[in-house]
Structure 1
Amino acid sequence: MYLAIREIRFAKVRYSLIAAIMLLVAFLVLFVTGLAQGLAYDNAASIQNMNATHFIMEKDSNHRFTRSQIKEQELTQAEAIVGQNNVQPLGVRMTTVTAEAATLKLDVTLLAVKPEGWLMPSVIEGNTLTMKSEGQVLVDDKLKDSGIRIGTVIVDQTSGMKWTVSGFVTQQSFSHSPAVFLSERDWQQLQLLSSTRPGVSGMDTDKAYSAIAIHADKAQVEHLAAALPDAEIVTKSAAVSAIPGYKEEQGSLKMMIAFLFVISAFVLAVFFYVITIQKSSQFGILKAIGTRTTYLLRSVTLQVLFICAGSLIISVLLVLGVKAMLPSGMPFQLDASTLAISCGAFLVMSLAGSLFSVWKVARIDALDAIGRTAA
């Protein structure tokens, strides 16, 4: 450790440049990781926040809520197997709404739930929906930026239905669109109006939902799968992954993060390898006077750790500072566990990049190094 610290203090400019480069790469890695996590949450916040273990969906719907249609008799069967308190119907429809007496169009996702069921989110402002609620909805607070207020009447462009905003919820979105929660009664009316609109024929007017949210253990899931041959039991994670654009978006961002990790390891490896070659003579002399190779290897490894740890600490502070300045609508999340994992992975990749330097130091021959110095 003495040799590692003394050398860093002696060549401040050289190691400061390496640290600056590592700082920028670490900041970029953490910032892109925060964006990836924020986008993932913004894409599926409503589903992720639901206290359900599985969803019952129509077979061959590709696990997508908007392609699934579950009948009321399947809901009754699920209640008999899992228990009425562990089953909740769910309707999902993406649509466009306008505020009455306004021309602004808003893309939203309608989510139909039982007003007093466990799928209903907590209200942060206004009044929640009750079993007697009709023509009232809860909306995500992001719609405040579009001028939506409590008491605002919104109109569904497809069916022509009107709802009055009775309250706001927070962090509720689906496929990057704000969520609008309506009662089960309004959902059935919406289904009926959709089935009778011009150009639509032969649509089933029986009670139907997009999915059924359940609390179930493994045995109950197997029982449900056997009892509902025309449906499939989907885990919450699988349902989230099937949201349009979710896997593609996350795949691209995760590939960027992986490349940034590899680039950081490569950059560190090149810098330290060049420095090691320049110090071959000094390493040879140290070996000739009896310094153990393991001591030199430990010194190189500690230098990498010091520089990476210092760069990471500063980059974490910078990311947290930038996060505090970002607008509220920016999808950015970086929780403590993700931050710790990212920093740990960065340190591991940096140490992996230093293996070239360690290998070079181990192969230095003291006599050859002294001979080159003498020449």
Structure 2
Amino acid sequence: MNIAWKEIKKNKVRFLILGSIVFLVSLLTFIISGLANGLSQDNAALIKDLPDGEFYMTEDSDQTYNLSRITKSTEDELLKKNQDAVAFSIQMGFLDDSGGKQRSVAFVTSTDSKLFTNVEKGEIVLDSSMEDEGIKTGDTLTNNQHSGKFIVKGFVEQKKFSHSPVAYINMEDYQEMNHVEEMQLAFIPGKDALQEFKGLQSFSKKDFLNTIPSYNAEQMSLNMIVWFLVVISGMLFAIFFYMMNVQKIGLYGILKAIGMKTRELFKMMWTQMIFITVIALILSITLSQVFNVMVPKGMPFNLTFETTVQLSLVFLIIGFIGATLSGLQIKKVEPLQAIQQGEV
């Protein structure tokens, strides 16, 4: 520990450069992770906020919820067997306010259930983001596929689908707008909710989210960037310590000659790695949390404590692996040969 600290002070510029790079890479990783989480909520909060359970759509829908149509008999059977089950439908559309401004929404209707907001015919409940845009309780909204008007009865927090605010409407209004009688999807809450129904295919919440094209493509791209940055940080540690070890072959030979064991040399290297990584992570976590607080309200950014801890542990593990791989040459150092080579 003492030797490790002395070397850091002696070569502080080198370690400062490595620490700065790790800080920048980790900060960028935290920000992209927060953006991925934020976009995930903005894209599918309606589904993600549901409890664990099983989603059902028709087998011939090709795993596309828009093409799914659950027959009334199958719906009745499913709801009869499961008291907490719900059948629901989602359809993208538009609402016009009294000023003629058109707003994109995701219309949602469902059978009677505490998992979804149920409204009376002619009423509508909107995501709170619509309230931020100037819509108020009691306002009248229209849709060109609906003969009547919708009266805004209230707002709900964080209900989005496909980056659009959710609009809960009555089942009769939904059927009139879309000229359909059947529901698209069914959901049975509970960890042991998996059941078989003729003509229906089941999905866990994770699997169902991946059937949404925009969600799957978006999250896959952002997660690839995150893990690519993590791999880069591991390579940085490996390259840095490899170069340091090459320059210190003579020193390692001397230390081995006076009785220092190989594991002590590894401990010295690990101590330096942990010191650099921890300081870099503290700084990047602090700045990313400040960014999380100060980010504009409309920006989809959500860096959770759980994500921060997970990524920090990943950085420490990757740093440990990178430093260890670069230090394998230490085991091969022969004291006499190293001393004869001289210390660079």
Is the structural similarity TM-score above 0.5?
Answer: yes
Distance 1:365 1:97, change over 3 A: same
Q: Which residue of 2 aligns with 1:42?
A: 42
Q: Spell out the pairing of 1:208-223 with structure 2 (5 A cutoff).
A: 208-215=182-189, 218=192, 221-222=194-195
SS in 2 for 1:70: coil
Q: Which residue of 1 aligns with 2:116?
A: 120
Distance 1:57 1:374, change over 3 A: closer
Whether contact under 8 Å (2:194, 2:202) holds in the other structure is: yes
Task: Give 1:146 shift.
Answer: 2.8
| TM-score, normalised relative to structure 1 | 0.85
Whether contact under 8 Å (2:145, 2:177) holds in the other structure is: no
SS in 1 for 2:236: helix
Task: Give 1:46 shift.
Answer: 0.3
Work out the CA distance in 1 between the residues paired with 2:338 and 2:305: 47
> What is the root-mean-square deviation in Å for CA atoms of aligned residues?
2.1
Work out the CA distance in 2 between the residues paired with 1:59 and 1:332: 35
Identity across the alignment (%): 29
In the alignment, does 2:146 pair up with 1:146?
A: no
Q: Which runs of 5+ in 1 are unaligned?
A: 122-128, 196-204
Pick aligned residue for 2:104 from 103, 107, 114: 107
Work out the CA distance in 2 between the residues paired with 1:366 and 1:238: 57
Task: Give 1:317 shift.
Answer: 0.8
Q: Which residue of 2 aligns with 1:319?
A: 288
Pick aligned residue for 1:93 from 83, 87, 91: 91
Q: Which residue of 2 aligns with 1:198?
A: none
2:34 counterpart letter in structure 1: G
Work out the CA distance in 2 between the residues paired with 1:221 and 1:15: 54
Whether contact under 8 Å (2:126, 2:166) holds in the other structure is: yes
Deviation sequence 1:155-184 (CA, Å, 0-9, x none)? 224445521211111110111111111122
Distance 1:370 1:235, change over 3 A: closer
1:250 counterpart letter in structure 2: Q
Whether contact under 8 Å (2:64, 2:212) holds in the other structure is: yes
Write out the 4+ residue segments of structure 1 that deviate beyond 6 Å after TM superposition.
Answer: none
In the alignment, does 2:176 pair up with 1:180?
A: no
Whether contact under 8 Å (1:301, 1:354) holds in the other structure is: yes
Q: Which residue of 2 aligns with 1:309?
A: 278
Whether contact under 8 Å (1:86, 1:216) holds in the other structure is: no
Pick which of 32-41 and 19-28 moved more.
32-41
Whether contact under 8 Å (2:274, 2:316) holds in the other structure is: yes
Work out the CA distance in 1 between the residues paired with 2:182 and 2:326: 65
Task: Give 1:266 shift.
Answer: 1.0
Work out the CA distance in 1 between the residues paired with 2:171 and 2:37: 32
Deviation sequence 1:271-305 (CA, Å, 0-9, x none)? 11112212222222212222222111110111111
Work out the CA distance in 2 between the residues paired with 1:374 and 1:49: 61
Work out the CA distance in 2 between the residues paired with 1:354 and 1:238: 37
Deviation sequence 1:319-363 (CA, Å, 0-9, x none)? 101111101222222222222211111111111111243112222
Work out the CA distance in 2 between the residues paired with 1:56 and 1:280: 63
Work out the CA distance in 2 between the residues paired with 1:229 and 1:27: 50
SS in 1 for 2:95: strand
Task: Give 1:106 shift.
Answer: 1.6
Work out the CA distance in 2 between the residues paired with 1:236 and 1:20: 40
Work out the CA distance in 2 between the residues paired with 1:113 and 1:347: 46
Whether contact under 8 Å (1:4, 1:303) holds in the other structure is: yes
Pick aligned residue for 1:355 from 317, 324, 330: 324
Q: Which residue of 2 aligns with 1:73?
A: 73
Whether contact under 8 Å (1:54, 1:215) holds in the other structure is: yes
SS in 2 for 1:248: helix
Work out the CA distance in 1 between the residues paired with 2:148 and 2:115: 23
1:117 counterpart letter in structure 2: S
Q: Spell out the pairing of 1:273-292 with structure 2 (5 A cutoff).
A: 273-292=242-261
Deviation sequence 1:129-158 (CA, Å, 0-9, x none)? 55xx22111111112343222222222244
Count of paired positions: 344
Deviation sequence 1:57-115 (CA, Å, 0-9, x none)? 22222333322112322221112322xx312221211112221222x32211001134x
Whether contact under 8 Å (1:304, 1:351) holds in the other structure is: yes
Task: Give 1:364 shift.
Answer: 2.1
Whether contact under 8 Å (2:139, 2:152) holds in the other structure is: yes
In the alignment, does 2:23 pair up with 1:26?
A: no
SS in 2 for 1:37: helix
